[in-house]
Chain A
Amino acid sequence: MKFAFFPGCVSRGGAPELYLSTIAVCEKIGIELEEIEGWSCTGAGALQESNPLLGDTLNARNFALAQRMGLPIMTICSTCQGVMAQAKVKLENEEYRAEVNAILEPEGLEYTGGIEVKHMLWVMVENIGLDKIKSLATRSLEGVFLAPFYGCYIVRPSAALEYDEHPQRKIALELVIEALGANAVDNDGKTRCCGFPILTINEKNSLAMVAKHTAEAQDLGADAMVTPCPLCHLNLDGFQAKAAKQLGRQINVPILHLPQLIGAALGMDAPTLGLNKHIVSAFDVAMKMGVRI
């Protein structure tokens, strides 16, 4: 199984452990990743505010590059996934696609529509299959309690994300957590906003969101939260201490990236998965998962 790999800016910037663990896990599972040479940022929703046409054109460019490789795209970021899915819907309109292609044409690029873009989370459930992952696991994560946290862009708008065609996407994180033997901790915050997009605009509100969700997970007895979104990770992990201080209580919940969780069950050690790179220490949960430190 082979994908045109779209790592996204954050896995190549502020969350290097996501990139590391993705590469390691995919290799072990037998997913061949060929990185899209020269991929650009999707716009992350922010560019779409000030210049939607540029956002759509950059996405069309990424799609065209992947089409040239003849491969479907795999993402590892809820935000990249959602923004690309929304761009894909807009670009299904032939008139608009022609307008965008006219801008791409001098670069010798054309997007012909119909690209497949899949988050690694969905690849696990839909392409690899939970049974296969289970059979590859060398450690059972029994007794580990994990709170899923999706990230807005992989949940809404559900039509662009093809939830009707793939109903299991609604519970994909829970499915993976449970397939690995761990317990999924149901939490109200799991499909809510982590607050990252307003971090620089209204820090107080952004931190209040971090505090609300991490405190909820902690109070429900979660050993860690698991997210397929590195932006959620940046906020929930990087700003948890500040958020706890603002709320005036203790919060200490490590935030795992999806491939770190899978890698733990596949028997990988902490450095391979970048578990030493977290702001909120993942030491305890790593021990509990039986990961070699």
Chain B
Amino acid sequence: MQANVSVRRFNPDEEDPKSYDQEYQVEVDENFTVLDTLIKVREEIDGSLALRCSCRASICGSCAIRVNGHAVLACKTRVSEHLSEDGSFRVEPAGNQPVIKDLVVDMNPFWDKLRAVEPYMQPSMPEPEAEYLAPNDVMLHLVDVMGCIMCGACVSDCTVLEIDKNFLGPAALAKAYRFVADTRDVEDDKRLKMYNEYGGMWDCTRCGECVTVCPKGVAPMERIMALREKAIEAKIPTGSYDGAAYGYRHSLVFEDIVSHNGRLDETKLVIKTLGMFNLPKLIGLIPVAMNAAFRRKMPPLLHPAIPGVGQVRRIASRINAIKKEAAK
């Protein structure tokens, strides 16, 4: 069948380089991957098209690009699944990374962030002869997260990186979790303190894009949530980043309010998260609150407890007891 592929191109060697879309018509087989198609374009139509690949079997992680707006591994993605009714599809370089040429992006920021989380084991025991052994069952839950092939698909589609380049990002934080959760690594407290800083675990918005696009089931966002749970549980100091302190309190206050009232009380949540005496922050919210009050939509100052709130409270205390028992 015939496919029309629109490719976002960029050539840094041109005078005043700008990106533009170029269309190619190629004959594709039903089983063609996006990578097969692009290689065919390069070999038969346009030798100047730059793209990156190596294994062609979703192992090396070098072929991440965007197809119809979402990051994928080109070698793992069938064209037939992405063709529109008129037989076309759109290809762009991975997002949130500087483009070197056409579909090839600069992975240096990716590696810098990965290095920043100290992605190597820091054990306390003396160096063994061969490897540091760990029982099978304590490593099993890490199989998925260790499956990361560092293709950067998650980084490409991360909604936070889109507006804040400082964010460590899903791949690096998932790797960070992998070492915190590894029983042989003894630097959990140091690590969690480090990941508590600006750009760390608290800056994730939980949008789920990374979980959706990861071709290996790493589920980075879920690892970030697990990091938060660990930091809260271990009562790791929040350090110099006030966002971490707000993040801690937001989770705990949320839990507290829902366990007591059964429902959310927005006013209490905001005030308690920011801190009753955090005047600069609270004053900053006054215009918004006044606007809301003016439209008679200020959330009620006192939320009535729900009918059946006793049930919710008893459930919460039962769960607390279970957790305490498990901690023992």
What is the interface of chain A, defined by CB distance below 8 A to chain B? 9-10, 12-17, 37-41, 43-54, 57-58, 61, 103-104, 106-107, 109, 152-153, 155-158, 188, 192-193, 195, 197-198, 200-206, 208-209, 212, 238-239, 241-242, 276-279
Question: 30 pairs across A/B with beta carbons < 8 Å?
Answer: A9-B266, A14-B299, A16-B297, A38-B311, A43-B254, A44-B264, A47-B251, A49-B229, A49-B251, A51-B255, A51-B323, A52-B229, A57-B315, A58-B312, A61-B311, A106-B318, A107-B315, A152-B207, A156-B207, A158-B212, A192-B207, A197-B205, A198-B205, A208-B163, A209-B159, A238-B288, A241-B287, A277-B296, A278-B295, A279-B295
The one of B205, B246, B251, B295 that contacts A195, using a Cβ cutoff of 8 Å: B205
Q: Are A57 and B252 in contact (CB under 8 A)?
A: no
Q: Which residues of B contact A152 (CB under 8 A)?
A: 205-209
Cα distance A193–B69 when bound, in Å? 15
Q: Which residues of B contact A197 (CB under 8 A)?
A: 205-206
Cα distance A204–B284 when bound, in Å? 12
Q: Are B262 and A238 in contact (CB under 8 A)?
A: no
Determine which residue in A152, A212, A242 has the highest number of CB atoms from chain B within 10 A of its CB, and name it: A152
Return the 5 tightest CB-CB contacts between A and B, nearest first: A38-B308, A156-B208, A193-B207, A9-B264, A50-B251
Contacts A49-B229, A238-B292: A156 and B209 contacting too (C-beta < 8 A)?
yes
Interface assignment of B97: CB less than 8 Å from any CB of chain A:
no
Q: Are B295 and A276 in contact (CB under 8 A)?
A: yes
Cα distance A156–B208 when bound, in Å? 6
Flag B287-326 by CB within 8 Å of A: 1 or 0 each.
1100110011101100100111101101110110011000
Q: Are B314 and A57 in contact (CB under 8 A)?
A: no
Interface secondary structure of A, over-half rule: helix
A265 CB to nearest B CB, Å? 23
What is the interface of chain B, defined by CB distance below 8 A to chain A? 69, 159-160, 162-164, 202-209, 211-212, 225, 228-229, 232, 243, 246-247, 250-252, 254-255, 258-259, 262-266, 270, 273-274, 284, 287-288, 291-292, 295-297, 299-300, 303, 306-309, 311-312, 314-316, 318-319, 322-323
Cα distance A22–B209 when bound, in Å? 29
A19 CB to nearest B CB, Å? 11
Q: Are A13 and B202 in contact (CB under 8 A)?
A: no
Q: Which residues of B contact A58 (CB under 8 A)?
A: 258, 312, 315
Cα distance A97–B84 when bound, in Å? 41
Q: Which residues of A contact B262 (CB under 8 A)?
A: 38, 40-41
Q: Which residues of B contact A13 (CB under 8 A)?
A: 264-266, 299-300, 303
Q: Are A202 and B203 in contact (CB under 8 A)?
A: yes
Please give me the residue from chain A that is nearest to B219 by CB atom. Answer: A157
